[in-house]
């Protein structure tokens, strides 16, 4: 019989407000005199005895705060957990496998233990083999992996033959932990000679003397990667190393991370941008399970097969279907809308912002279309969006008729105590089916904004923006912190919004696959970051992609099975053919 686990979200459990431990009064096992649901008087939370629970589901349905989940683990799962955080808390099965000379990727949904797995490898969490009351001897942890590649790795870890360096996911926390310049931070962690090399490879020179508190998100990401490498190690762990970076920087970072792997060094990476994950890694562990409840790590696969299996939702070797449907990022035919109806147009624009000069060629946006915006960081994308939103005025040139604009900014910082339900009231009243349900916002209703994770805050902010009464929606980096499945859901929600409400959506993003799937047309920014930027377009997709990719110097092909875009190896037959035909974008 499949093992059953109960998960209680401590943050959502409010016994005083539900009628004094309501669930204890409703549980049929409790009514027989047994103590299936107990009350923890110290923590003032409910607790469920998983051995006594029959899985009737009454408590999950009746808890007014949706604090309880009762889950049957997959029948095929024979192993015990490698770690459980506590009673009725998240549990993790197995670990990803670092291999010397290789870059191993980890791919999976948010909230299923990817960062926990990295923290175990990084020795930040000591695995307890499912028994949270004791700390088992490390020999028992090694025995868990007997006969696998992991056994040898853990034996070396125990003998201190492996030194680790770990880049955490949230680089935005660095300014809270360090005051000083980028140079001072990096000098603290690495030798001067290595520093010079890393600064050059990661292109940090322009902001070495900038205080950490003043660098942008993308710069902070590069500083965090530099610090990780400068610490020196033979196992590097990178948790989402490309968030906040533009595509050019993502490719540069991918090459840099790949170059770290050699016979004495292993690299493990968590990444949600599938084109970049494909480019950066040799092998892949897929993680699947249920958000906030449990996570299982698959066996190692080649990156190509692994990504295809993930999209398909089926692991052949393990014979496990972990998702009912395929994820398809394949573009449908270009939309034929009849005669386009213009919404807003602009004549040639210019704007000087400090030392930065922004120019925009004349262009227009139509109703019921989604226009993707591509370009490097610091090249004027956000400033252009702010001009359309009327937040800044151009120096020369005109933006035509005024339209109502709703804007989601790139950085979402909030220390607010406001409840999610309060924040998105308008969406709940008007767009429950279109926005709240597909983006799974109900689960967060009783949380405060300041308690949300990066991915949760992103979804809430998208919902807030899209629920406004506007004709033009501007979304700046909506894919940041979202996993692959959430990116697909967001794409569908945006598509439906444009169709149903006959509105226009502008999307700035650096995930090429996401933008390729979502957009009807493309705007391309060219120029030199922090000095000058020129807006061109909107173009038809193929034309815009060709312009952007030719400047970037990469060609894309489609994977034969999944049809997803993949970067061609520079100099490969396909790469040379496509360059010759000037087809940088697969057709």
Question: From the CB of 16, what's the least distance to ligand SF4, in Å?
Answer: 9
Question: From the CB of 85, what's the least distance to ligand SF4, in Å?
Answer: 17
Identify which of residues 446 and 546 has a Cβ nearer to ligand SF4 in the complex. Answer: 446
Question: From the CB of 51, what's the least distance to ligand SF4, in Å?
Answer: 11
What span, in angstroms and rounded, lies between the C-alpha atoms of 102 and 118?
Answer: 16
Identify which of residues 72 and 502 has a Cβ nearer to ligand SF4 in the complex. Answer: 72
Exposure of 4 in the CB half-sphere (CA atoms within 13 A):
14
Question: From the CB of 19, what's the least distance to ligand SF4, in Å?
Answer: 7
Q: Three-state SS for 40?
A: strand
Q: Three-state SS for 454?
A: helix
Question: From the CB of 40, what's the least distance to ligand SF4, in Å?
Answer: 10
Identify which of residues 27 and 490 has a Cβ nearer to ligand SF4 in the complex. Answer: 27
φ/ψ of 101, rounded to 5, equals 85, 0
**Positions in the binding site for ligand SF4 (CB under 6 A):** 8, 13-15, 18, 21-23, 27, 29, 36-37, 46, 48, 53-59, 63, 65, 67-68, 70
Identify which of residues 46 and 370 has a Cβ nearer to ligand SF4 in the complex. Answer: 46
Question: From the CB of 58, what's the least distance to ligand SF4, in Å?
Answer: 4
φ/ψ of 223, rounded to 5, equals -65, -40
Identify which of residues 22 and 545 has a Cβ nearer to ligand SF4 in the complex. Answer: 22
**C-alpha distances out from residue 432 to 273, 458, 492, 500, Å:** 29, 17, 15, 14
H or E element, residue 397: none
Question: From the CB of 45, what's the least distance to ligand SF4, in Å?
Answer: 6
Q: How far is CA 302 from the centre of its chain?
A: 22
Identify which of residues 34 and 353 has a Cβ nearer to ligand SF4 in the complex. Answer: 34
Identify which of residues 54 and 126 has a Cβ nearer to ligand SF4 in the complex. Answer: 54
Question: From the CB of 6, what's the least distance to ligand SF4, in Å?
Answer: 6
Q: What letter would DSSP give residue 247?
A: H
Q: DSSP per residue over 468-506, as a string? A: SS-SEEEEESTTTT--HHHHHHHHHHHHHHHHHHT-EEE
492 near 438, Cβ under 8 Å? yes
The dihedral of CA 531, 254, 218, 418: what is its sign? positive
Nearest to 82 by CA among 97, 93, 67: 93
Q: Three-state SS for 558?
A: strand
Give the CA dihedral 509, 513, 515, 516, nearest 10 degrees: 150
Question: From the CB of 32, what's the least distance to ligand SF4, in Å?
Answer: 10
| The pairing of beta strand 369-374 with beta strand 504-508 | parallel
- Tokens in use for 6? 């109960």
Identify which of residues 294 and 525 has a Cβ nearer to ligand SF4 in the complex. Answer: 294
Task: Please give the angle made by the CA atoms of 274, 510 and 117, to the nearest 5 degrees.
Answer: 45
Identify which of residues 14 and 328 has a Cβ nearer to ligand SF4 in the complex. Answer: 14
């Amino acid at each position: 019989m499949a093992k059953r686990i109960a998960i209680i979200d401590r943050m959502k459990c409010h016994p005083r407000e539900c009628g004094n431990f309501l669930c204890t009064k409703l549980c049929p096992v409790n009514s027989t005199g047994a103590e299936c649901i107990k009350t923890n008087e110290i923590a003032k939370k409910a607790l469920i005895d998983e051995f006594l629970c029959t899985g009737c589901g009454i408590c999950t349905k009746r808890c007014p705060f949706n604090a309880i989940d009762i889950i049957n683990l997959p029948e095929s799962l024979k192993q015990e957990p490698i770690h459980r955080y506590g009673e009725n808390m998240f549990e993790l099965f197995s670990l990803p496998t670092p291999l010397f000379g290789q870059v191993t990727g980890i791919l999976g949904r948010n909230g299923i233990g990817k960062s926990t797995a990295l923290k175990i490898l990084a020795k930040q969490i000591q695995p307890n083999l499912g028994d949270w009351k004791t700390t088992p001897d490390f020999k028992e942890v090694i025995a868990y992996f007997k006969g696998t590649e992991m056994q040898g790795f853990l034996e070396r870890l125990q003998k201190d033959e492996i030194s680790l360096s770990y880049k955490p996911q949230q680089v935005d926390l660095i300014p809270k932990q360090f005051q000083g310049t980028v140079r001072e931070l990096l000098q603290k962690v690495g030798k001067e000679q290595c520093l010079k090399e890393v600064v050059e490879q990661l292109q940090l020179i322009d902001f070495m003397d900038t205080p950490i508190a003043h660098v942008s998100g993308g710069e902070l990401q590069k500083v965090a990667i530099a610090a990780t490498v400068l610490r020196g190690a033979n196992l590097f762990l990178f948790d989402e190393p490309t968030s906040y970076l533009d595509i050019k920087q993502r490719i540069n970072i991918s090459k840099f991370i790949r170059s770290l792997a050699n016979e004495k060094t292993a690299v493990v990476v968590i990444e949600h941008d599938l084109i970049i994950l494909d480019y950066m890694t040799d092998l892949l562990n897929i993680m699947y399970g249920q958000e906030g409840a449990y996570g299982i790590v698959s066996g190692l696969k080649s990156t190509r097969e692994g990504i295809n299996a993930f999209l398909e939702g089926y692991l052949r070797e393990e014979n496990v279907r972990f998702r009912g449907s395929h994820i398809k990022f394949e573009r449908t035919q270009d939309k034929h809308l009849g005669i386009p109806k213009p919404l807003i147009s602009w004549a040639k624009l210019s704007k000087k912002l400090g030392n930065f000069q922004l120019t925009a060629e004349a262009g227009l946006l139509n109703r019921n279309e989604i226009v993707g915006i591509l370009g490097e960081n610091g090249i004027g994308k956000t400033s252009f969006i702010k001009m359309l939103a009327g937040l800044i005025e151009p120096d020369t040139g005109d933006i035509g008729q005024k339209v109502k604009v709703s804007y989601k900014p790139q950085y979402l910082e909030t220390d607010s105590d406001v409840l999610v339900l309060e924040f998105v009231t308008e969406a709940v009243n008007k767009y429950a089916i279109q926005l709240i349900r597909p983006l799974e916002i109900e689960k967060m209703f009783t949380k405060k904004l300041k308690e949300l994770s990066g991915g949760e805050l992103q979804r809430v902010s998208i919902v807030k923006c899209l629920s406004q009464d506007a004709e033009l929606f501007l979304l700046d980096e909506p894919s940041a912190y979202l996993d692959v499945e959430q990116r697909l859901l967001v794409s569908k929600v945006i598509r439906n919004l444009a169709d149903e409400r006959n509105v226009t959506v502008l999307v700035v993003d650096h995930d090429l696959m996401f933008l390729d799937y979502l957009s009807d047309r493309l705007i391309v920014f060219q120029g030199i970051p922090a000095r000058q930027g020129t807006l061109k377009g909107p173009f038809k997709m193929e034309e815009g992609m060709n312009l952007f990719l030719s400047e970037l110097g990469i060609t894309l092909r489609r994977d034969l099975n999944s049809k997803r875009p993949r970067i061609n190896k520079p100099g490969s037959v396909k790469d040379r053919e496509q360059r010759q035909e000037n087809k940088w974008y697969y057709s």
